[in-house]
A and B are shown apart, each in its own frame.
Chain A
Amino acid sequence: MTTLEVKNLHVSIDGKNILKGVNLKMKTGEIHAIMGPNGTGKSTLSEAIMGHPAYQVTDGEVLLDGVNILDKPVDERARAGLFLAMQYPAEIPGVTNAEFIRGAINARRPDDDPLSVRAFLKKLDETMAVLDMTDEMAERYLNEGFSGGEKKRNEILQMMMIKPKFAILDEIDSGLDIDALKVVSRGVNKMRGSEFGSLIITHYQRLLNYIVPDVVHVMMGGRIVKQGGPELAERLENEGYARLRDELGLKIKLVDEEA
């Protein structure tokens, strides 16, 4: 079992404070969801954990099995077991999807023991079948010219191939139609098990019908303001964020709120 703990995390971007003391603890075997209105810092949390260079951590720690990873470069964090399925994955021309994924797997193996092409292709075929992806996706350049839905599937494909300990899924549901949403959820559910934990960031409860979380966190104004079980997500879907905010007595303006 592995633990991921976020302690009092403060993060700013371009001098603007976005996260103002986030605390969160999870273990492999668990699926956590973070819900919250727009502009509340959900994506900032995921990028800060992964180590995006534009996000400055001004205070706090992110501990993987008790070891602070914040002074480690992005690639080391990844090899230590973190994965971020990004909202806007970069396009890399000239590098095929298959070659990239194989490279990522081999980066986790000793130099003298790379995964054979044959074994890799077998696993890739099986995984792509789970995600209803066509063979040609393997040979296309990484994310180049992919539709929004194809990019999301491709993020999940990478996750399933790399098998991280913790996968953060940043709005993996945005822009997906209901069929694609089911496919992506199937991929995540296939990963479920004692060696895998996931932190799912979403606006909507809908995704959580397909991937049922163990814990739901609600984030507002750069902090986690409430925790609960799956029923909390349903309540938010029915009542909206404003009502919870007022109930908690928070003085936070929601970005999309009418003036």
Chain B
Amino acid sequence: MTVEAESYPEIKDYTKAVDEPEWFTALRIKALKAIPQLKLPSFEKIKYQRWPIQLKRPLKQQFSKPELLAELSFERAQHLIVQLGQQLVSAEGISELEEKGVIVCDWQTALRRHSDLVKKYFMKRAVKLDEDLLTAQHVAYLTSGLFIYVPKNTVLTEPLTTYFVQDATEKFDYVHHVTIIAQEGSELSYLENLTTIGQEKTTANIIVEVIAEDNSHVKFASVDRLGSNTTTYLNRRGHLGKNAKIDWSMGMMNDGNIVGDFDSDLTGDGAHSEVKIVAISTGKQVQGIDTRVTNIGRHTIGHILQHGVILSRSTLTFNGIGHILKGAKGADAQQESRVLMLSTKAKGDANPILLIDDNYVTAGHAASVGRVNQEQLYYLMSRGLPKKIAERLVIRGFLGPVLAEIPSQLIRKQLMVTIERKLVDGQKDE
């Protein structure tokens, strides 16, 4: 224990209890010291600053009861990680990955067993500790997570599936970190499911860093269904080397207020990021989604495709930012953001932002916010389908172009089930 930690009693007790390495505790303190100088990040047309999004509860261990998971169902998967709150509940089919030199372990274990690796990558390449107030708070209050490392030229044929269940049966904030490192020439398919159990008003601060080294390929998929009383900052960021590729497929099916900050930094020549997002906002919730791809290397490709649906009095904002830096010759930045309104009281926004600092590049954008097509509804209803079912079919058609582009059929199916459930629930408020 460093002398400095002594002056931060809440950190001292926690870090001692979880037995974390000193360097990490020092990082927490560094973050705490930086906080007073840092500001909340700002996102175009997303006003979240007054939400209870800042972490204020002291670091504390949460011991969740595993029986809470009984009410959830998990899809079978060959490689499966289930975490409840701060704890690892199950890890199936991980040892066969370890035989290939792959590391998949929960955050505390990673800090103890793979300290050097974590130190090398954590908040260094993709997201930075002192980037803004929320990233600094993330480091200061981090209590759970997963560390994934795929060695050079290793190809995982089966996807790795994770369920991260926030335990909001008690007033604990959920501060969660995932680091994925895909070494040169490796391939990984990863599916993340975020959910909440419990109804306490809590804050979630989640950061996912994907480091895709040269010639690696990461398929990242997520189905996010955080609870209605959880206010969330969700940051997913990719850092891509030469000819690396990340396919992002994200389903934003949360019930509470959330800011999603999804970025890809195409640093290496020929790096390629495909971002597909479907989102549904219901009730009175606000979902603000800021998706950015930055072309830094030459001949880099950044594509954003996001479609969302809004019901009741909800809000959904899509920002699409394509930023081509000077020197990114031959870069391509394309984006499409569309919002479908099912209610006149809902608010939707689709903002295309293209920032181009070099010549010899290609870029394009499309954005729209529109009402549901009445002719389609009429046609479906004229065959006897009730209005709500007809609406769901039209919505499915609207989201179809995004879903069709999701590389994995399994994820597509899972996402469709979640979409249907979210819509059925959302229509109850109509």
What distance in Å separates the Cβ of B213 from its nearest Cβ neighbour in chain A? 37
Chain A residues near B383 (CB-CB < 8 A): 78, 83, 100-101, 104, 107, 158, 162
Chain A residues near B400 (CB-CB < 8 A): 93-94
In the assembled complex, B396 has its CB within 8 A of some CB on chain A: yes
Chain B residues near A51 (CB-CB < 8 A): 378, 382
A52 CA to B374 CA, complexed, in Å: 9
In the assembled complex, A89 has its CB within 8 A of some CB on chain B: yes
In the assembled complex, A50 has its CB within 8 A of some CB on chain B: yes
Instruction: Decide if B394 touches A92 in the complex (CB within 8 Å).
Output: yes
Instruction: Decide if A92 touches B384 in the complex (CB within 8 Å).
Output: no
Chain B residues near A24 (CB-CB < 8 A): none
A95 CA to B390 CA, complexed, in Å: 11
Q: Given A73-B381, A86-B379, A107 and B386 touching (CB < 8 A)?
A: yes
CB within 8 A of B378: which of A90, A108, A141?
A90
Chain B residues near A175 (CB-CB < 8 A): none
Chain B residues near A104 (CB-CB < 8 A): 383-385
What distance in Å separates the Cβ of A102 from its nearest Cβ neighbour in chain B? 11
In the assembled complex, B112 has its CB within 8 A of some CB on chain A: no
In the assembled complex, B246 has its CB within 8 A of some CB on chain A: no
List the A residue with the shortest CB-CB distance to B386. A75
CB within 8 A of A90: which of B373, B398, B399, B401?
B373
Q: Name 18 interchain pairs, CB-CB below 8 A, sorted by A.
A: A74-B382, A77-B382, A78-B381, A78-B383, A83-B382, A90-B375, A92-B376, A92-B380, A93-B400, A93-B401, A94-B393, A94-B396, A95-B396, A95-B397, A100-B380, A107-B384, A108-B384, A162-B384
In the assembled complex, B69 has its CB within 8 A of some CB on chain A: no
Please report A residues at the B interface, Cβ cutoff 8 Å. 50-53, 73-75, 77-79, 83-84, 86, 89-95, 100-101, 103-104, 107-108, 141, 158, 162
A162 CA to B375 CA, complexed, in Å: 20
Q: Given A75-B387, A94-B400, A107-B385, A100 and B378 touching (CB < 8 A)?
A: no
A52 CA to B378 CA, complexed, in Å: 7
Chain A residues near B386 (CB-CB < 8 A): 75, 107
Q: A52-B378, A94-B403 are in contact. List 13 more A-B contacts (CB 8 A).
A: A73-B387, A78-B381, A78-B383, A78-B384, A86-B382, A90-B373, A91-B376, A92-B376, A92-B394, A93-B400, A103-B393, A104-B383, A162-B384
What distance in Å separates the Cβ of B374 from its nearest Cβ neighbour in chain A? 6
CB within 8 A of B381: which of A75, A83, A91?
A75
In the assembled complex, B389 has its CB within 8 A of some CB on chain A: yes
A104 CA to B393 CA, complexed, in Å: 12
Chain A residues near B380 (CB-CB < 8 A): 90, 92, 100
What distance in Å separates the Cβ of B262 from its nearest Cβ neighbour in chain A? 24
Instruction: Decide if B374 touches A53 in the complex (CB within 8 Å).
Output: yes
What distance in Å separates the Cβ of A33 from its nearest Cβ neighbour in chain B? 21
CB within 8 A of B390: which of A50, A75, A77?
A75
Chain B residues near A103 (CB-CB < 8 A): 385, 389, 393
Instruction: Decide if A89 touches B379 in the complex (CB within 8 Å).
Output: yes
Chain A residues near B397 (CB-CB < 8 A): 92-95, 141
Instruction: Decide if A50 touches B382 in the complex (CB within 8 Å).
Output: yes
Interface residues as binary, B99-141 with A (CB distance below 8 Å gives 1, 0 otherwise): 0000000000000000000000000000000000000000000
What distance in Å separates the Cβ of B415 from its nearest Cβ neighbour in chain A? 13
Instruction: Decide if A79 touches B384 in the complex (CB within 8 Å).
Output: yes
What distance in Å separates the Cβ of A163 from its nearest Cβ neighbour in chain B? 11
What distance in Å separates the Cβ of A27 from its nearest Cβ neighbour in chain B? 22
Q: Given A50-B382, A78-B382, A90 and B387 touching (CB < 8 A)?
A: no
What distance in Å separates the Cβ of A54 from its nearest Cβ neighbour in chain B? 8
A52 CA to B382 CA, complexed, in Å: 9
What distance in Å separates the Cβ of A101 from its nearest Cβ neighbour in chain B? 8
Chain B residues near A53 (CB-CB < 8 A): 374, 378
List the B residue with the shortest CB-CB distance to A107. B384
Q: Given A103-B385, A104-B385, A108-B384, A74 and B396 touching (CB < 8 A)?
A: no
Chain A residues near B375 (CB-CB < 8 A): 90
What distance in Å separates the Cβ of A215 from its nearest Cβ neighbour in chain B? 24
Interface residues as binary, B350-392 with A (CB distance below 8 Å gives 1, 0 otherwise): 0000000000000000000000011110111111111101100
List the A residue with the shortest CB-CB distance to B373. A90
List the A residue with the shortest CB-CB distance to B400. A94
A79 CA to B393 CA, complexed, in Å: 18
A46 CA to B11 CA, complexed, in Å: 74
What distance in Å separates the Cβ of A93 from its nearest Cβ neighbour in chain B? 4
Chain A residues near B381 (CB-CB < 8 A): 73-75, 78
Instruction: Decide if B376 touches A90 in the complex (CB within 8 Å).
Output: yes
List the B residue with the shortest CB-CB distance to A105. B384
Chain B residues near A101 (CB-CB < 8 A): 383
Instruction: Decide if A94 touches B382 in the complex (CB within 8 Å).
Output: no
A104 CA to B400 CA, complexed, in Å: 21
Instruction: Decide if A94 touches B389 in the complex (CB within 8 Å).
Output: no
Chain A residues near B387 (CB-CB < 8 A): 73, 75
List the B residue with the shortest CB-CB distance to A108. B384
Interface centre among A52, A73, A89, A107 (most CB of B within 10 A): A107
List the B residue with the shortest CB-CB distance to A161. B383
A93 CA to B373 CA, complexed, in Å: 12
A198 CA to B327 CA, complexed, in Å: 69
Instruction: Decide if A74 touches B399 in the complex (CB within 8 Å).
Output: no
CB within 8 A of A100: which of B374, B393, B398?
B393
What distance in Å separates the Cβ of A139 from its nearest Cβ neighbour in chain B? 14
Chain B residues near A52 (CB-CB < 8 A): 378
8 shortest A-B CB distances, which residue pairs? Answer: A94-B400, A94-B397, A78-B384, A90-B379, A104-B383, A74-B381, A75-B381, A93-B397
Chain A residues near B403 (CB-CB < 8 A): 94
A84 CA to B403 CA, complexed, in Å: 32
Chain B residues near A158 (CB-CB < 8 A): 383
A197 CA to B385 CA, complexed, in Å: 22
Interface residues as binary, B228-245 with A (CB distance below 8 Å gives 1, 0 otherwise): 000000000000000000
What distance in Å separates the Cβ of A62 from its nearest Cβ neighbour in chain B? 14
Chain B residues near A90 (CB-CB < 8 A): 373, 375-376, 378-380
Interface centre among B373, B378, B380, B383 (most CB of A within 10 A): B383
